[in-house]
Structure 1
Amino acid sequence: MECEHCHERPATLHFTQYAHGKKHVQHLCHTCAHDLGLIEANDHYPIHDLLSDLFKMNSALSNSQRQTSARETKTCPTCQMTYTQFVKHYKFGCKDCYETFSAELEPVLKRVHNGNTTHVGKVPKHQHAHVSKLQQIKMYREQMKTFIEEERFEEAAELRDMIKALEQTEPNVGEAE
């Protein structure tokens, strides 16, 4: 989309104004927005800075220097990337980095996604029943673990039986877990 003012540069800023019950949207480049007085010259916030601030907040949240040094020396066993390198470039070296650095990523993802760390989006129609069954089994297992820790063995046994019944219904359709 090009800038509505100069028609030369791509529009990178989108301003929405409401006046007298009507919505007016302007798509402007950074230069034109500055020339029109809508932003200051240095008024920009690249994604790199956003990510940097989020990960700095995560680092600031740790109270112990020992935790910070352990985080800095944590290395992915597959690609040898360190957490410090990740924070510098905001790119993982391989798929195993996600698991290696999951403890450091979870607080950041929770802040970014309003506390949600699991995907709850759409599921293909042909797999909806299978996926919901897997979610139900996972929930029952978590409850069963809690019951066992609380020594509520009868309730845990009931959940165990429910899990077995769910697992026996409908043959394994591309087991996801």
Structure 2
Amino acid sequence: MYDLFSDLFDGFDWFMQPTTYKEEKKCPVCGRTYSDFRRDGKLGCSECYKVFRGPVTETLRQIHPSTVHVGKIPSKSGEELKLKRKYETLKQELSAAVKNEDYETAAKLHKQIREIENEVKKS
């Protein structure tokens, strides 16, 4: 007899028991399994992120609770990236300051943004 709900609940087994995920499931592209990921902490290809999304997300939440991982900036060659991130942060803060009608803070932020823009033009 065919169970109508078995296919529906197959996708939720990671949610119910994240540590006992069906480890025999393989990535159709590279052939790696979730147990391979648990063993060495590496996924084989971009398709693995889709195939093992649920259990990998749960594992990462256990490792990094309530944090957003933005990556590491190389110490020697990351100055441009650091400057770009600072620029984006200042733009967001400027927008918030204008929205809150805090024009004194907005003026300071605008000055910092212009300094960064001038520095980039010189490079």
TM-score (norm 1): 0.33
Q: Give the structure with the larger helix fraction.
A: 2
Q: Which has the higher contact order (CA 8 A, sep 6+)?
A: 2
